[in-house]
Amino acid sequence: MRVALLTEGGYPYARGESVAWCDRLLHGLTGHDFDIGALSRGRRQERGPRRPLPPHVRRVRTAPLWGPPPAGRASRAGARRFAEHFAELTAALCPGHQLLGGEGTRRQADRFAHGLHGLADAADAHGGLGGWLRSERALRILEAACRARGAPRALRFARVADLLAVAERLERALRPLSLDWYGPDGLDAADLCHAVGGGPAALAGLLARRRHGTPLLVTERRVRVREHYLAGAAAGAGAPVRALLGAFQVGLAREIYASAALITPGDALARRWQERCGAAPERLRTVYPGLDARPFDAVARARGGAAAPALVWVGRPVPEKDLVGLLHAFHLVRAAEPGARLWIVSAPAHGRGDGAYLARCRALAARLFPAPRGGPGPVAFAEVGDAEVPGLADAYARGGVVVLSSAVEGFPVPLIEAMFSGGATVSTDAGAVAEVVGGTGLVVPPRDPRALAEACLALLRDPERRARLGAAARARALELFTVERDVAAFGAIYRELGGERQAAPRRPARARETIRLTAVGGGERA
């Protein structure tokens, strides 16, 4: 079977959890041929070191989602078609009150699909879409949609700077419409398109499905719509920018979910967001991300409780992990257990941390826990690769209790690593934490230092309970979260979807589907 693996901002160029997951998937499914379509987010990423690829990867094609638009200028006929379909798409992003709820939501989705696929067809026929999307005419169409009667109030006050920011982001997100990845020597030759993520990478698979009938599998561990809202709020983007880009992400998600043969969320939280964005429950199949348990086996065998009561946090030091709250919780722990220690270990394998935030945490620790003269303080900061913590598994061996203090969380990979290591865990109830722990650890509300401290003290003072919970956590992780289970699940899905493709006649390379659109004012357009 020939599989097109479509990635964005990751495999095979970057590091991180999604890259490691793709690597394990490819090395585990050796019975298939793979083509990789990688969308890069920066020059450094694209030119950086590339993961060693197994021999059954036939080809890697890369396209940038950064920098200026691809070269090319639209003809007059192309510009007219772009304007027509971009007006449809932007109208769907700025719905009036007559499009809200029920039938209106369906009409809005139809307008979005009509505009999106119309732009794709025009780009295929005329070229130059990227440059046109950065043109003054595109900006005027976007402005007209924001000023239209009935448009949301936030959009009517959009400034030129807001419109320019949105136009730039839309141009980059829509670059897959202009790629040369389609055709008999491209995605048409694949038996299955597997998109890792629900954004531009899935858009390439969406076009392959529409043009060639190629089944589309979407693995979305971090739901794009949720990530957009979290990132937009953190970045402080203006209300018009957030509203327009949020509407685009929702529209794209709805179209991708409606076209995908199967969607594989990694947890119940992702599944709920996907259903909220229109994914049909019968097309959703939860597959937990798999990790390699072997590096943590030795730590699990050696674990017998720390000589001195110790807590350890492992991960990426960023504000959403709430290390400030953890330090305040540990201040309460120290008041009750003066001999307690805390290790805060940065793990580059989980992504780049925030240097300014880590410096702030170090300063807070110095104020709360001044080091005694001639000796170390009760809080130690380290990074995986240091002499004290040479490997990731060594980080979890530092403490009798592993703590996850996140205020915002997705699928908690460090928590699973802690479970593989046989550690007793105290976690905040964020993201998929409760689903992952499943009763084998203590879970407390987020942003509640007192509750976090009380749970940590309960385990630090009870070695037998620590050992019992740690053993149960490891058994649960080995049953549900191993790479072997993950790869086997996707092997079965590949056979299911790819087999249907091989059994069905292939569509002609230039075939197009007709999208019917019910206009607001009545009548239909093809």
Asked if pLDDT for residue 96 goes beyond 80, the answer is no
Q: Is pLDDT at 467 greater than 50 in this prediction?
A: yes
Of the candidates 37, 32, 28, 33, which has an alpha carbon nearest to the alpha carbon of residue 7? 37
Strands 517-518 and 524-525: antiparallel
> What is the predicted pLDDT for the residue at 426?
98
In the prediction, which pLDDT does 373 show?
73
Q: Is the pLDDT of residue 130 over 70?
A: yes
Mean residue pLDDT across the chain: 88
Round to whole Å and give the CA distance between 493 and 43: 34
The band of 196, judged by pLDDT with boundaries at 50, 70 and 90, is very high
- Residues 112/87, Cβ–Cβ less than 8 Å: no
pLDDT band at 185 (very low <50, low <70, confident <90, very high): confident
Q: Check residue 186 and give its pLDDT.
A: 86
The band of 513, judged by pLDDT with boundaries at 50, 70 and 90, is very low
Contacts of 8 (CB under 8 A, 6+ apart): 38, 39, 41, 65, 196, 197, 199, 200, 201
59 within 8 A of 35, measured Cβ to Cβ: yes
Taking residues 175-195, report their average pLDDT.
91
* Distance from C-alpha of 342 to C-alpha of 382, rounded to nearest angstrom: 11
Residue 114 · residue 517 · CB < 8 Å: yes
* Beta strands, E only, 146-222: 192-196, 216-220
Query: Confidence band (pLDDT; 50, 70, 90) for 10?
Result: confident
Instruction: Name the residue with higher pLDDT: 237 or 389.
Output: 389
Residue 51 and residue 75 in contact, taking contact as beta carbons nearer than 8 Å:
no
Assigned token pair, 266: 């990694």
Whether pLDDT at 85 is above 80: yes
Q: What is the 3-state secondary structure (H, E, C) of 207-218?
A: HHHHHHCCCEEE
Averaged over 5-28, what is the pLDDT? 85
Tell me: pLDDT of 106 over 90. no
Q: How confident is the model at residue 372, as a pLDDT?
A: 80
| CATH numeric code, 294-480 | 3.40.50.2000
For domain 2-69+176-289+486-503, say whether CATH 3.40.50.300 is its number.
Answer: no
Which residue would you say has higher pLDDT here, 48 or 387?
387
Mean pLDDT of 143-163: 89
When comparing pLDDT for 108 and 136, which is higher?
Answer: 136
pLDDT at 498 over 80: yes
**360-401 pLDDT tens trace:** 999 999 999 987 876 788 999 999 999 999 999 999 999 999
Q: Which of 63-72, 182-191, 222-231, 399-408 has the highest mean pLDDT?
A: 399-408
Q: Scanning the structure block, which residue is given the tokens 């041929």?
A: 33
Rounded CA-CA distance 129/124 in Å is 9
Nearest alpha carbon to residue 491 among 11, 24, 6: 24
Q: Do domains 2-69+176-289+486-503 and 294-480 have the same CATH topology?
A: yes
DSSP state of 51: P
Give tens-digit pLDDT for 170-181. 999 999 999 999
Q: What is the DSSP letter of 497?
A: H
Distance CA 399, CA 405 (A): 15
DSSP string, 276-332: HTT--GGGB---PPPB--GGGHHHHHH-S--SS-EEEEEE---GGG-HHHHHHHHHH
Q: Where are the domains of the chain?
A: 2-69+176-289+486-503, 76-169, 294-480
CA dist., res. 404 & res. 414, Å (int):
8
Short-list 387, 389, 377, 370, CA closest to 315? 389
Task: Read off the pTM.
Answer: 0.87
Q: How is residue 378 written in tokens?
A: 């009760």
**Residue 515: which pLDDT band, with cuts at 50, 70 and 90?**
very low
Contacts of residue 51, Cβ cutoff 8 Å, sequence gap at least 6:
11, 12, 13, 19, 23
Residue 511 has pLDDT above 50, yes or no: no
**Chain-centroid distance, C-alpha 201:** 12
Q: What is the pLDDT of residue 371?
A: 79
* CA–CA dist 146, 242 (Å, integer): 13
Highest mean pLDDT pick, 12-16, 307-311, 375-379: 375-379
Q: Which of 69, 279, 45, 44 is nearest to 174 (CA)?
A: 69
Mean pLDDT of 291-298: 95
DSSP state, residue 482: B
What is the predicted pLDDT for the residue at 374? 64
Q: Which residues contact 285 (CB under 8 A, 6 or more apart)?
A: 262, 263, 264, 493
Q: Report pLDDT for 482.
A: 97
Between CA 443 and CA 128 the distance in angstroms is: 53
